[in-house]
């Protein structure tokens, strides 16, 4: 993966930052993207202090104009983009009937439309070059119903199928598109779902009253666990893998 340029969205923390760090450690020049400018700059400071080739490109993935401008700036400053990781995401919890219009629209704007806008803009650059790889970080909730996560699960299902349809259309150009589906991962998004100190143990153990079986491997994933799966699918070791999905959830979805 040496000497490539990658764009990673949602890189101001969590899985996105872990992906950016791992790619940087593999000598990939990483354009980190997030709308949270201060947090994004903090990410760049942390990673740059480790000697990693990372640069910040603040942008809102829900804005087509900002996305196009961001991609132009990345290619102008860093060179042709060969890898894209769609890791930007938001979570709005609530029973399906209690979700507000704003909850639904915001969730889809980031988790689904954001994947569409960024993937489209970068795929347009990849096609004439005849190379590239795209990975969308979705969720095991895209295929496993979860209480109070209807908007999130639906948006991730949409992002998953969009990525696979895009991959089908781009295969003729030698461009691969795959999905990584994390389960419970040690990020602020997960901790926002906990109500007290029993949260982590409850996640691992499961909650029958919410139809959650827990995590068979008996631990919550770290962001780097997901990052390794992403990096594999971007690498030449996965050169014959496209339209695929790799679940990283410790068995929480029982392999479904």
Active site residue 152: yes
Query: Which residue in 28, 54, 27, 59 sits closest to 43, CA to CA?
Result: 54
Q: Which of 108, 116, 152, 162 is catalytic?
A: 152
In the numeric block, which tokens belong to residue 186?
């040690």
Question: 3-state secondary structure string, the chain?
Answer: CCCCEEEEECCCCHHHHHHHHHHHHCCCEEEEECCCHHHHHHHHHHHHHCCCCEEECCCCCCCHHHHHHHHHHHHHHCCCCCEEEECCCCCCCECHHHCCHHHHHHHHHHHHHHHHHHHHHHHHHHHHHCCEEEEEECCHHHCCCCCCEHHHHHHHHHHHHHHHHHHHHHHHHCEEEEEEEECCECCHHHHCCCCCCCHHHHHHHCEHHHCECCCCCCCCECHHHHHHHHHHHHCHHHCCCCCCEEEECCCCCCCC
How far apart, in whole angstroms, are the C-alpha atoms of residue 177 and residue 170? Answer: 8
Separation in Å, CA 177 to CA 72, 171, 241: 21, 8, 8
Q: Which residues are annotated as catalytic?
A: 152
């Amino acid at each position: 993966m040496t000497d490539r340029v990658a764009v990673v969205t949602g890189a101001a923390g969590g899985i996105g930052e872990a992906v950016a760090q791992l790619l940087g450690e593999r000598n990939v020049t990483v354009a980190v993207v997030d709308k949270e400018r201060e947090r994004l700059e903090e990410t760049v400071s942390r990673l740059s202090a480790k000697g990693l080739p990372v640069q910040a490109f603040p942008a809102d993935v829900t804005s087509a104009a900002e996305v196009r401008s961001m991609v132009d700036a990345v290619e102008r400053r860093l060179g042709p983009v060969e890898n894209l990781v769609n890791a930007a995401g938001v979570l709005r919890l609530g029973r399906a009937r209690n979700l507000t219009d704003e909850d639904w629209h915001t969730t889809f704007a980031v988790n689904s439309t954001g994947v569409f806008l960024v993937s489209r803009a970068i795929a347009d650059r990849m096609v004439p070059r005849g190379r590239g790889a795209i990975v969308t970080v979705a969720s095991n909730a895209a295929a496993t119903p979860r209480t109070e996560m209807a908007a999130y699960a639906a948006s991730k299902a949409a992002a998953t199928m969009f990525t696979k349809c895009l991959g089908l259309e781009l295969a003729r150009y030698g461009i691969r598109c795959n999905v990584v589906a994390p389960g419970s991962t040690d990020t602020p998004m997960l901790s926002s779902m906990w109500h007290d100190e029993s949260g982590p143990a409850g996640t691992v153990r499961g909650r029958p009253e919410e139809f959650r079986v827990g995590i068979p491997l008996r631990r919550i994933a770290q962001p780097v666990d997901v990052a390794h799966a992403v990096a594999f699918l971007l690498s030449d070791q996965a050169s014959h893998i496209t339209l695929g999905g790799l679940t990283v959830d410790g068995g929480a979805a029982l392999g479904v």
